[in-house]
Structure 1
């Protein structure tokens, strides 16, 4: 166990699943209102360990990276949805 600083040029995590399941048609993107309510109540993102838990139990870097990637992919899908809504609103205004 290392209790000091760890420095490396590269760390490779192998045999780790990805978060590409977010782009499957069967994936249900959580409604933003539910995400907002969760954040207000819990003070952290859904499926992301709280800072308190991280301090107490540490963090599995491989798992954490996948969860972060999942959140980035979800954000991308939210942005795409919003862009479509904006484009539709622009078309409606022109009519």
Structure 2
């Protein structure tokens, strides 16, 4: 990711110099580049909007949430041993008490700390996988109840 950002900076530099434009809002400090800021705090800091067609985020050791299915079907997960899927009742109780999903930062935390795209995308995928399993369980129960009703009606 750092290489991509550096490459983008180089191309932007070449383009601007070839067009004889100046870098009005660009700063370089301690090897860090700031656009719209004089105090960059990361390799590339942009104060403002960024327009791009695509962003690739490397996992760099992060675990994709297939551990949700592994834990559900096998009873535990080697990928993420501490993971446990809450029941719908436990989830409802948590939401009622804290007003946000379990494992997901609250609105206040997000406002204070911001969010990291990789972490949030993996967390949201975990929640999607849990939702899919809850839906499958509910469909099985619906099918079973339909069958019981059908037998009663006959």
TM-score, length of structure 2 as denominator length? 0.58
Residue 70 (1) aligns with residue 136 (2) = no
Counterpart of 2:135 (choices 72, 75, 79) is 79
Map residues 1-95 of structure 1 onto 2, 5 A cutoff.
1-15=45-59, 16-24=62-70, 25=73, 26-27=75-76, 28-95=84-151
Deviation at 1:92, TM superposition (A): 1.1
Aligned residues: 95
Supply the distance in 2 between the matched residues of 1:54 and 1:7 (Cα, whole angstroms): 22
1:1-57 Cα shifts (integer Å, max 9, x gaps)? 222112211100112421111111225431111111111111110000111101101
Structure 2, unmatched stretches of 5+, are 1-44, 77-83
TM-score, length of structure 1 as denominator length? 0.92
The structure that is helix-richer by fraction is 1
Structure 1, unmatched stretches of 5+, are none
Supply the distance in 2 between the matched residues of 1:54 and 1:34 (Cα, whole angstroms): 23
User: Which protein is bigger by CA-based radius of gyration?
Assistant: 2
Supply the distance in 2 between the matched residues of 1:54 and 1:32 (Cα, whole angstroms): 24
The structure that is strand-richer by fraction is 2
Q: CA RMSD in A?
A: 1.2
4+ runs of 1 displaced by more than 4 Å? none
